[in-house]
Structure 1
Amino acid sequence: MIRKILPAIVLFLPPSLATAAADITGLAKVREGDTVVIGTTRIRLGGIDAPSLDQLCINPQSEKWTCGVSARDELAKHVEGKSWTCHPRQTDRRGRQIARCEVDGEDIQKWLVRSGWALAYKQVSHDYEADEAAAREDKAGMWQGAFIAPWDWRVRNKKTTILGAAKPPEDANATLLASASGPVAPSPECNIKGNVNRSGECIYHKPTSRWYSQIKMQIAKGTRWFCSVDEAEAAGCRETKR
């Protein structure tokens, strides 16, 4: 009787409880400061939050810079040619595996937070709080100037708290609430255009799309750049029908 009941119990358990997910290993393609792809598996680095590619920060000279692009590029440079081992914990609503990852034995989330390219995502984990404090003390990465926490930037408003070691300039709020998705792509490979149609639907256009050249990149119009089809679809956009 017990042998018949157990399979039924396992069948109705959530996937994360029914079986332990196998480790994901190999070389990774870095999409954002906290998102990589190994093989065909998209992985969201757990316990941390890095700036989006179109997020802006302010440096000690009160100049704006694309800290989201820098976070991605610094991670890519740090892990180039190195082997990853990721331990999946669950799947997020975008279909990504949330995992803790080691790169040649190094805790890569710890490195990102300690280097100032990501924050400890305290809403879900307290594992990297000490590393964030050290980065803030050393004015590493984003902490060299002023910025908005990635989770605040995604739902930003005028009351959003400004973080950083530098005293923000008077117009810091307007700068940090803006997006790098201006008329020029934040980097050469981020050339997929996203816009919102009259029905409020997000549409993405590859360079080969018919209407690509006619899409004017204007922040006020809700446009933004994407670095891959996966990224555009993860943001809830669909490909244009033409």
Structure 2
Amino acid sequence: MRASLITLAAAAVVSLGSSIALASPALPIALAAMATVVAITATAAWRASTSAKAAAEAATPPDRVGVGGTGAGIGVTEGWPLRRRHVALALAVSLSAPALGAEPVVGRASVIDGDTIEIRGTRFRLQGVDTPEHAQLCRDRSGKEYRCGQVAANALADKIGAGNVACDPITTDRFRRTVAICRLGAEDLNGWLVGEGFGIAYRRYSTAYADREEAAKAARRGLWGGSFTPPWAWRKGERAMALGFAANGGPDGPIPAPAKPGPEASGTTRCAIKGNINRTGDHIYHVPGSRDYARTVITESDGERWFCSEAEAHAAGWRAPRG
């Protein structure tokens, strides 16, 4: 009876997993925990069954064990609890697998910015590509400034149009966004952004699109035709447009000088406003002299950044602290 209940529990978890696994990439993690409970319960039942059999064998005369001695007689009855244990453990493994390679999420996509989209309430950060920020300025071939972050976002929106996008989840970042490779039909949107020069390869996390970046650079497509600041450097408060064919020094810019101390360390007020992202994902900026300014630490690799003015912070989606 105990084994039957375990089998039914395992079947229930499988049925539940099949029906809701596609609803959210985070659900398979909870299912894996449920499967682990089933596996532990099955193992405990197996141990209890084995102990009972061992006690029965100790009280059974040798001539009643069966042909071939203890191994032949008991092997037939021990096989079933062992199989139940293996099935339960296999169930745990199979249900935990979607946490590492969940089913693609497919649907109509809304573009949040050049490298972030949303499908059915889930935000996806496109892996391996970094596009300019919404308020970021770049220069075209003639030296005229333009909002390259908006251009990237608009280009992605035009590319997707009314089509369905399929995103393959890879992991989750600290902002609870699902990092993914997203496709429109057979086309890799992450790679498309890099190849068209709307973004650059984010080598810190992936080199998958380095070749496409080199091709875009050679053809002077998008950003590479003018001059720009790498998005990750712009988020740190840098404004020198050192990359691109129109930049001083050519497409790769001049050899970078040693990093200068940040605004807080150097005492300068240029780009001294701290754009923080708290644990709940709120984007809040802090001006020098405000209550939380001194204790706020900016981690650029997590998307936090410096601003030169409050207007710039507002334009990028940050707000002032409340209270």
Indicate the TM-score class for this superposition, using the shorter chain for normalisation.
0.5 to 0.7
Q: 2:174 aligns with which of 84, 93, 107?
A: 93
1:224 paired to 2:304: no
Partner of 1:199: 291
Q: Report the secondary structure of 1:27's partner residue.
A: strand
Cα offset, 1:224, TM superposition:
1.5
Letter in 2 for 1:225: H
* Structure with greater contact order relative to length (CA < 8 Å, sep ≥ 6): 1
Letter in 1 for 2:313: R
1:164 paired to 2:248: no
CA contact (8 A) 2:107 2:165 kept: yes
Cα offset, 1:54, TM superposition:
1.1
Cα offset, 1:161, TM superposition:
7.4
* Residues in 2 aligned to 1:48 and 1:39: alpha-carbon distance in whole angstroms: 22
Cα offset, 1:22, TM superposition:
2.5
* Residues in 2 aligned to 1:55 and 1:70: alpha-carbon distance in whole angstroms: 10
Cα offset, 1:21, TM superposition:
2.0
* Residues in 2 aligned to 1:14 and 1:123: alpha-carbon distance in whole angstroms: 26
Letter in 1 for 2:291: S
Structure with the largest fraction of helix: 2
Q: Report the secondary structure of 2:309's partner residue.
A: helix
Cα offset, 1:33, TM superposition:
0.6
Structure 1 pair 26/238, CA: closer, same or farther in 2 (3 Å)? farther
1:127 paired to 2:208: yes
**Which ranges in structure 2 are unaligned for 5 or more consecutive residues?**
1-42, 44-84, 254-269, 272-282, 294-306
Partner of 2:266: none
* Residues in 2 aligned to 1:14 and 1:3: alpha-carbon distance in whole angstroms: 17
Partner of 1:184: none
* Residues in 1 aligned to 2:308 and 2:237: alpha-carbon distance in whole angstroms: 14
Cα offset, 1:219, TM superposition:
3.5
CA contact (8 A) 1:196 1:223 kept: no
CA contact (8 A) 2:138 2:229 kept: yes
Structure with the largest fraction of strand: 1
Structure 1 pair 238/3, CA: closer, same or farther in 2 (3 Å)? farther
Partner of 2:230: 149
The 5 Å alignment of 1:1-242 reads: 1=43, 2=85, 6=89, 16-17=99-100, 20-157=101-238, 162-168=242-248, 195-196=285-286, 198-200=290-292, 219-221=308-310, 223-225=312-314, 232=318, 240=322
Q: Report the secondary structure of 2:102's partner residue.
A: coil
CA offset digits 1:22-78 (Å, max 9, x no partner):
311101000111000101000000111111101111112222111011000111111
CA contact (8 A) 2:284 2:321 kept: no
Q: Report the secondary structure of 2:205's partner residue.
A: coil
Name the Cα RMSD after superposition. Answer: 3.5
Q: Report the secondary structure of 1:224's partner residue.
A: helix
Cα offset, 1:128, TM superposition:
0.7
Structure 1 pair 103/226, CA: closer, same or farther in 2 (3 Å)? farther
**Which ranges in structure 1 are unaligned for 5 or more consecutive residues?**
173-177, 180-192, 202-217
Cα offset, 1:15, TM superposition:
8.2
Partner of 2:82: none
Letter in 1 for 2:245: A
Instruction: Select the structure of larger CA radius of gyration.
Output: 2
Letter in 2 for 1:220: S
Identity %: 31
